[in-house]
Amino acid sequence: MKGAVFDWDGTLVDIDQREFHCINKALAEHGEGEVSQEFYVHNYYQRPFEVGSGPRLVIETALAQNTGRADRVYETYRRLFAATVDRVRLHEGALQLLKLLNGEGLKVGIATMRFTRSVLASEIQVLGVDSWTNTFLTREDLGFDRRLGSLEETVDQRARLVTRVLAKLGVSVAESFLVGDSWWDVRAGKKLGMKTVLVKTGFSHYNDFSSERPDLLVRSLPELEARIRGGEMNDS
């Protein structure tokens, strides 16, 4: 292996506290009631085969009786999210794993379906991840500025994004692996012919995606680090 591509939200970073805060604050700014943690988890994570981002699904469902306001509330949420970079948190073992890969001479990239590149750049810098990654791309870098239209398009755009990151890293699909927390990460990796790692964080913490048959299924990033030290990514 010469390279690794990571998803960001839910895989390297834990976004739940920040997302929950920003969604409820956006609802409050528009005179709407807050949602519960249970409501957030169900509509953010437990509807993984529906088209739409987690925060948008939460907001749209919360406004079921007033759907005409959803776009305005969502834009307020995006503003609040961009202003709360200080709330971003790495998952346990994330930095240690990136340091290991660097020490092994692997090139590391981040490919996220999040849209705004400037917000991600700030998060990467605040967390010190910029010292241990070679490049990152968001959906904004694809010039894709509309909502995804289908599950197939979700996989296609994910694969397109990962392909761009690999090109910037200068490594082939045969020399790299993709790490994510969702079914679309695994399907995109398989579409490209990459080895895939599914971490049971983020979406996979709340859903069983084992039927997608990733090359490696791990409970956490520290477990992935241990597997890499044991040579499993080269052997699998």
The predicted model scores a pTM of 0.94
**Distance between CA atoms of residues 125 and 134, nearest Å:** 13
User: What pLDDT is attached to residue 48?
Assistant: 94
Domain residue limits, the chain: 3-14+89-235, 16-86
Task: Give the contacts of 147 (CB within 8 A, at least 6 positions apart).
Answer: 51, 52, 56
**Distance between CA atoms of residues 220 and 224, nearest Å:** 6
Buried b (16+ CB within 10 A) or exposed e, 102-119: eeeebbbbbbbbbbeeeb
Low-confidence ranges of the chain (pLDDT < 50): none
Task: Give the contacts of 230 (CB within 8 A, at least 6 positions apart).
Answer: none
CATH fold for the domain made of 3-14+89-235: Rossmann fold (3.40.50)
R_g of the chain, CA atoms, integer Å: 17
**Distance between CA atoms of residues 177 and 172, nearest Å:** 10
User: What pLDDT is attached to residue 51?
Assistant: 86
What digits encode the pLDDT tens for the residues 154-168? 999 999 999 999 999
User: What pLDDT is attached to residue 236?
Assistant: 52
What digits encode the pLDDT tens for the residues 60-97? 999 987 767 899 999 999 999 999 999 999 999 999 99
Q: What is the dihedral of CA 41, 26, 124, 182, to 10 degrees?
A: 30
